[in-house]
Chain A
Amino acid sequence: MMTNDTIDRDAGETLGAVARLLHHAAIRAWARADAEGPRSPMHLMGLGIYIAFCQAVAMLPADDYLDGHSPIQDDVVQLLTSAEKLTRSIPVSDETAGISALAVAICDLVREATP
């Protein structure tokens, strides 16, 4: 599996927090989808968020960056918005290659999730 061993500690911790927010948002979206039933469009929203989570994890070193408290928010849009805001402090560099695509993915998800 791909890992990124060149990312610096600060960026890694921020990215870890982004990943936790995305993971929680995917879980919340799927919980809502399950409650709504098999035809809920939230199934694909959850999938999209989970895909973004996988992208974020793939950018992290094989380390403990994903340890930490679960987010307290439960609203999917709020979780995504928080994740996007956190990505703003991650530098765009060779070491964080993929952050631009991740930022775009999260912005797309915010737009898709906002009625």
Chain B
Amino acid sequence: MNARDERSVGELLLDADFTTRQVLMDATGEDAQAMLRTWGEVVQSASELWATLPRPAGGTSPIDGATMARLETISQSMHRDQVRRGWPGDGPADERLLHVAETFTRVAGLIDRRGAHIGATDPAVRADLDAARMRIMHTLYVGAHSVGVAAQQHVADVEVSTRGKSDRESRAVPRGQDAINRLAAFEQLAGAYVGNRFARAAGGEHVHGPNGAERLQQALIGWDIQAHRTLAATPTAANLLLASRTQAGIATAAVAILHAGARTGHVDTNAYQHRLAPTLDATQQAWTDVASRWAEMTSPDSRTDVDLVQAAGELRAAVREVAHDKTTWARPDVMAGRVDLGEAAQHLQQALSTAVDIASVIRDVAAQDTSLTGPARAMNHRANADIDRTADRGHRGKDVVWVTPGDVYANRTVTLPEPVRAGLVDATDTLVQTASNAMSAAACLDRVAQDGPSGSGPEPTAPRSHRREGPTPMAQDVTRVARP
């Protein structure tokens, strides 16, 4: 122990918290084994610290001690499993997590030496003790998440590097998966203590559920159901914005995953290149255009339905699990190593069908909801832009003031000006059409891919044109489809 360290209990606990956050921000698969070796020590020192905290005279809630006891049990069980499997085995510890464990031990020592006189009946002291317990549990929550992230990355790396090799060489996969499941349970327990009511939306926290294509399927279905529920009950601009941006994300992810499918022989290359990719690009741009319009109608404090946020978070996490590698898309062979891309393509095909109905719901709101409003400045700007747009097409409008100078000056909330609504309806008409085109193009995904692996598929480069595309030859005039 450093005798010159005169930091308080609170400062030391913050140090432990901030260290785990840094670990989380830096976590990679290469860190996983050292982190797994050290995690048990963190939990044990946290548990010992917890036991040294004076108990309030009136007793604590049974959940207080029970939660820490259960966390320690999970950690011990992980340790026993590591010993039995010989994995991750001997090796260096993770210095950062070791620092967290040592900090907890230092705090316990401080309390042991100086805390005997603490009167736990004093309300201020009780508040401090509650804050200390919360910070410890929060640190374990963040720490468990970071170890889980590293373990997931490690498993993904091993899956790719050992594909086609023996069970012995790929045995780190099931071992890592067991650790991931236990860490997820740990994270859920600690998260419940600190009240993580938004956890599923946070990082796509995903406990004891399916992985890969099945997770993607469930996330797409969950999103579809929640989007319909939210838009039926509260079709506010904030909810419409998140719904549109998420649908744009689905279209973007669909191109990336189907491109990987085409490159690995799971999706017909010709269909991808000539039908799927162009129509998906067009529908993505239409969703983005509509989202931008809803964004203009929100105010800074507009609230979004928490259930919709959670569903979007889980969908994004499921897509990342399949398709991402840090800041970019994973290589096609990497994606193919993670999931059955043919199966994933079929789930996306269903999502592209239901997208038409969500687009239709949004168009109905745009055309019929008379309660739509927006901030005066943004509405004025948009009205002028839409008037200019129609004037460019030879339909010059009358000189009408759609938003009063007073409203603009005060940036009051105003009813949607007529040109803005007309532009919104136009944009949502285009959205329904492009979504229908994408659905038609994706019908081919019902079939098993015919082509073998091909190295000649196009790279998923981003076309820079934002030109709105018209209907493709195979487009159907679908204005509304029944929900599955």
Contacts and interface: CB of A to CB of B under 8 A. Distances in A.
Nearest to A19: B300
Interface stretch (B268-276, B303-311, B359-367): B303-311
Contacts of A111: 24-27, 149
Interface in B187-229: 191, 194-199, 201-203, 205
Interface string B447-473: 000000000000011111110000000
Interface stretch (B38-46, B109-117, B241-249, B369-377): B241-249
Nearest to B460: A39
Residue picked from A23, A30, A67, A115, most chain B C-beta under 10 Å: A30
B159 interface: no
A71 interface: no
A104 B204 CA distance: 10
Q: How large is the interface on A (under 10, 10 to 19, 20 to 34, 35 or more residues)?
A: 35 or more
B329 interface: yes
B259 to A, nearest CB: 8
A62 B327 contact: no
Contact of A62 (B137, B245, B246, B301): B301
B172 interface: no
Contact of A3 (B131, B255, B303): B303
B203 A105 contact: yes
B142 A51 contact: no
B281 A58 contact: no
Given A92-B135, A92-B138, A112-B327, A101 B466 contact: no
A36 B198 contact: no
A20 B299 CA distance: 12
Interface residues of B, number: 71
Interface centre among B138, B191, B205, B305 (most CB of A within 10 A): B138
B194 A45 contact: no
Contacts of B312: 47, 51
Interface string A18-50: 001001000000100011111111011111101
A38 B251 contact: yes
B461 A39 contact: yes
Given A37-B464, A54-B242, A98-B196, A2 B303 contact: yes
Interface string A104-115: 110110111111
A35 B199 CA distance: 31
Interface string A59-75: 11011111100000000
A44 B312 CA distance: 11
Interface stretch (B52-60, B96-104, B313-321, B394-402): B313-321
Contacts of A65: 301
A114 B25 CA distance: 9
Interface in B78-108: none
A63 B300 CA distance: 11
Nearest to B280: A38
Contacts of B25: 84, 107, 110-111, 114
Interface string A71-115: 000000000000010001001111001111111110110111111
B284 interface: yes
B293 interface: no
Contacts of A103: 21, 138, 142
A2 to B, nearest CB: 5
Contacts of A114: 25, 326-327
B202 A112 contact: no
B327 A51 contact: no
B421 interface: no
A1 B307 CA distance: 10
B9 to A, nearest CB: 14
A62 B303 CA distance: 9
Contact of B197 (A35, A46, A52, A97): A97
A102 to B, nearest CB: 7
A93 B193 CA distance: 10
Given A44-B253, A93-B130, A112-B326, A84 B306 contact: no
B149 A51 contact: no
A37 B462 contact: yes
A66 B24 contact: no
A114 B249 CA distance: 20
Enumerate the 9 nearest inter-chain pairs by beta-carbon distance, A residue then B residue, closest first.
A37-B462, A97-B195, A1-B303, A38-B284, A101-B202, A105-B202, A101-B196, A66-B300, A107-B24
Given A37-B466, A38-B463, 10 more contacts: A37-B281, A37-B461, A48-B316, A58-B198, A92-B131, A93-B131, A101-B205, A104-B141, A108-B145, A114-B327
Interface of B: 14, 17-18, 21, 24-27, 130-131, 134-135, 137-138, 141-142, 145-146, 149, 191, 194-199, 201-203, 205, 234, 242, 245-246, 248-249, 251-253, 255-256, 280-281, 284-285, 288, 300-306, 309, 312-313, 316, 319-320, 324, 326-329, 460-466
